[in-house]
Amino acid sequence: MVTTAKTLPDNTKEGTQESSFSKIFSQARNLMKSISWLSPHSSLFETTSTEFGRNIEISLNSLSQHNGVVSLKLRKRSKAVVMSIQHYEQILALKDTYERLLEIESERTISDAIDDFDALYDRIASPESLKAADALFSASAADLREAYRPGETEAS
């Protein structure tokens, strides 16, 4: 059975985002197992494009004998890979799943940034910050002199 993007969960609200990510990640893992047939073209069964084309019906029907994938040569060079529709659909399903995982990760990143911003805003808007800002702007020259601590590059 081939999984497509239509079967992927679309609920990424807070609380369900982790379970959605886990489900999609599990689907991606299963899809990766299902495309174990995907290998470098140099390891595939090879045939000439002429031979493949002359007997195209027989060649297409024999794809299953070669794990559903055949490398075509033209003038002694690999030029194309022919695969079954099922193999192609598995690749598309993996692509859709990967895009969904990226979307969820993007949402997580944005959510984390929002949380960081909210925490910073809470610190800035806190009564302690207000008190410190009031003290800074109402400090006298004597208060500033007393609070000043020179750094390593400044003379006392």
Alpha helices in the chain (DSSP H): 17-34, 49-54, 56-61, 85-124, 127-137, 141-147
How many Å separate Cα 67 from the centre of its chain?
29
- Residue 41: what pLDDT? 67
Give CA separation, 51 vs 14, 46, 70, in Å. Answer: 56, 11, 12
Give the pLDDT confidence of 5-54 residue by residue, as tens digits.
Answer: 444 444 444 556 677 778 888 888 888 887 777 777 677 777 877 787 88
- Residue 31: what pLDDT? 81
Q: Compute the distance between CA of residue 21 and CA of residue 34 in angstroms, rounded to an integer.
A: 20
- Residue 15: what pLDDT? 53
The domains of the chain are located at 5-137
Whether pTM exceeds 0.85: no
